[in-house]
Amino acid sequence: MRVKNFIVFLVFVFICPRIFAVNPDDRRVDRVELKRQLLNSAEILEKSGEVISRSAEYVYPTIVHIEVKRLRAAQPSRGRDSRNVQIEVEDSGSGFITRIDKKNYVITNQHVVGGVDLDSIIIHTLDKRMITPKQIHTNNEFDLALIELDANLTPVDIGDSSKVRVGDLILAIGSPYGLERSVTMGIISATSRRKIPASNGQAPSCEFFQIDAATNPGNSGGPVLNIKGEVIGVITAIATTGGGSEGIAFAIPINDVLRIAKQIANGGVALRSYIGVSFHNIFGSREHKKIGLDRMIGAHISRVLPDSPASEANIQVDDVVIKLNDIEIEDGYHLNNLICQSEIGKQIELTIRRNKKDIKIKITPSGKVSR
């Protein structure tokens, strides 16, 4: 028995280690093969990454850094009367070059350049030029500014924001914290945000893209690009509790931007379709059941303005709009957006729930000045 145990001991001590040992040369062979596989995989990713690099390089000449000098009230200090004392501070933002009626403009946000003199704004281009604006047109409702420049510049390529889908790869370019032409990458997180947690008081007159590309103060007014290097949106706000990027930013679709930009470039003001109604912000399940709706849809009208297209069409308070033409209405913001996109003077049909019955009303939107 002792002999048998001794033989087992010898097997474990001397023979097993030799059987299961890894030859150092074999390890080197494995690493060589692993490196080969790694290089093959990296080559595939590098080729995909070239699309991003080339897109950014292609767009760079069309992006500008905007420097703005403002006067702000001084902070009160101990022992000193700082009332009515103003100090000069420097803000920055982003923009991109476009061409409307053969004139060069920079598109950016109104909150980037609004409220200052032309001499307080400097446009920095890729080739190190510093340009003072010739004229500025703004629209507060859409938070847009159109800066006219007397210079020969390269315009961006414009995409079609109506074709944007959730999950599309995008680039955001801007000047976060003054760092010019910073590029971040992400995806379209949502395409139909109608109410955004923004601090600039922007009215929900259009639907916004939500993106997850890192954006920070200074990205405002910068473009959102598809991977073909085409602008599909303008960054307008970030959702943040601390002032920095938390992966949620919002952009105005470029189709809406150009619709407004072309109007303010030519006439200084923009018109949008208007029927003259307001909506209840809270329209819950109880209210839905009360009027015979088993789904959370519709825009509940809280006010009809006198002498408006709505009053002339006999739309009434407490009516619930459930369709515009053949489009089912999700809420008041949705209806407001669809009306804004409607053609001024072209008749539309609203399906309205009134006294638990559906009626159809034809109405012709008029034009309202958007400032």
Confirm whether 220 is a catalytic residue. Answer: yes
Amino acid identity, residue 329?
I
Residues constituting the chain: 371
How many Cβ atoms are within 10 Å of 79's Cβ, its own excluded?
Answer: 4
Q: Is 143 a catalytic residue?
A: yes
The catalytically annotated residue of 220, 245, 273, 370 is 220
Q: Is 111 a catalytic residue?
A: yes
Q: How far apart are CA 90 and CA 210, in angstroms?
A: 28
In whole angstroms, give the CA distance from residue 273 to residue 340.
5
- Name residues whose C-beta falls within 8 Å of residue 328's C-beta, 6 or more positions apart in sequence: 297, 322
Q: Provide the token pair at 278.
A: 């307001």
d(CA 61, CA 181): 10
The sign of the torsion formed by the CA atoms of 66, 106, 371, 195 equals: negative
Phi, psi of 27 (to 5 degrees): -60, -40
Q: In a 10 Å sphere around its CB, with 0-12 CB exposed, 13-18 middle and 19+ buried, how is residue 102 labelled?
A: exposed
Catalytic residue among 55, 92, 94, 111: 111
Set 65, 124, 143, 256: catalytic member = 143
Per-residue tokens: 284: 């819950």
Structure tokens given for 139: 């629209």
Active-site residue numbers? 111, 143, 220
